[in-house]
């Protein structure tokens, strides 16, 4: 068994309204950061996964994404896996 460190990035799909992103953008503009645009706020999930191989971790993550982490209708995701030495 090896230990893997996983980072999952979840964001709204393009075209999906993101009220938190709109709020952050407005705050930025009203504080003088006017060259900021297209702000989107998503989720950044980190976790440890014990597995026999990176391939197994990949499977776990994709299965978790499908089962409960990601709503594919409105969200998209990507991830990174790194073995912890």
The residues of the shown chain that bind its own copies, judged by CB under 8 A, are 9-11, 21, 24-25, 27-28, 31, 33, 35-51, 60, 63-64, 67-69
Closest distance to its own copies from the beta carbon of 80 (Å): 11
| CB-based contacts of 16, cutoff 8 Å, min separation 6 | 74, 75
For its own copies, the closer CB: 30 or 73: 30
| CB-based contacts of 71, cutoff 8 Å, min separation 6 | none
Contact 80, 1 (CB under 8 A): no
Residue whose entry in the numeric block shows the structure tokens 């060259």: 35
For its own copies, the closer CB: 38 or 73: 38
Closest distance to its own copies from the beta carbon of 73 (Å): 19
């Amino acid at each position: 068994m090896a230990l893997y460190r996983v980072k999952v990035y979840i964001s709204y799909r393009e075209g999906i309204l993101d009220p938190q992103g709109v709020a952050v953008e407005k705050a930025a503009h009203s504080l003088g950061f006017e060259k900021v645009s297209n702000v989107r706020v998503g989720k950044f999930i980190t976790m440890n996964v014990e597995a026999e191989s990176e391939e197994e971790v990949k499977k776990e993550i994709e299965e978790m994404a499908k089962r409960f982490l990601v709503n594919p209708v409105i969200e998209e995701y990507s991830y990174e896996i790194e073995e912890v030495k």
